[in-house]
Amino acid sequence: MNVITLFKKLLTFKSITPNDDKAMEFIKEYLNDFEIIECEKEGVKNLFLYKKFGEGEHLCFGGHIDVVPPGEGWKSDPFTPTEKDGFIYARGAQDMKSGVAAFLWALKNVCDFNGTLSALITSDEEGDAKYGTKYMLEILKEKNLIPDFAIVAEPTCEKVFGDAIKIGRRGSINGYLTLKGLQGHAAYPEKSINPIHQIAPILSKIAGYDLDEGDEYFCASKIVITDIRAGMQVTNVTPGILKMMFNVRNNTHTDKEKIRKFFEKNFKGLNYTLELKQSAEAFVTNPDTKVVKILDKAIEKHTNVKPKHSTAGGTSDARFFAKYGIKVVEFGVKNDTIHAPNERTTAEEVSKLADIFAETIIMFADANA
């Protein structure tokens, strides 16, 4: 089975989060000479397949089989791969069954290695991710199977295939501020405490504020206000409470404590509460790390493109690998139609991605020889 046939087969599974639609059973049959660890919790299925060739380093490929709902506006059946004008259309074509197909094919066709090769696949990356990759890594730690390196096959390329890999991701911190005043009649403002008036002079100091300067890998951590609401939608009552929500896509220089101190400084003397929730943590993998340097070489060899090192975008399961000290990077096909109707990629990109992953495995083996 070539990689395109494999890719098209994966696209037929209606694996909308967290349902895998029996895709995991197919993958187990495909990599039938690999050892298997699987778990299921709260409807989420996770599969870890591994083969130990020797006592060397452990290289893992990570991915998700689940996809977002297809939505409206498709010109073809989103779960029937359709070829037209050089593209393959289907839900998950870019995000990320192309990546899963590529690394499964590479693992299937590897002849030798001097360490451990593995694949970690979940059915809950597009959802809450609570019982997906994060949960499986907890199990792997108990079994002493935590990888040394990982490549997550998310779509990373921007304009042409091979132009970008992700060596890190920003974190995400959600903020919930409640500013308490005293409700009253608009005709007697001296008898009330209007939280809208209190926050008005502060907004210019916090809205869009950069909490740090960023660095060569990350842009600044910016406060983005997403919602402010107060009052009863009438003109003659001043509100007693104002609620504001904001988000900070933070880099490694800003954390919850830094944000908390910033708000303490700007809201000093006011009656407020602040809740901060970290939904994803920032990480960066040193570009001089073995997995980055080898992947760079493999990409350039097969595409004649030198990839840039990026940390742009939202979050991914790579953050869970990084938390265990695993040197993790992301690389996959071009990212321009993910989650959209008529999601698509090309057979050429998927084939080259598989070749790059196979080349990466070979280079790892040579480096360890």
- Catalytic positions are 66, 125
> What is the C-alpha R_g of the chain?
24
Nearest to 113 by CA among 36, 60, 64, 62: 60
Whole-angstrom Cα distance, residue 236 to residue 114? Answer: 76
Q: How far apart are CA 335 and CA 33, in angstroms?
A: 32
CA-based torsion, 122, 127, 131, 137: positive or negative: positive
Candidates 73, 90, 74, 92; CA nearest to 82 is: 90
In 3D space, the residue among 72, 102, 166, 85 whose CA is nearest the CA of residue 344 turns out to be 85
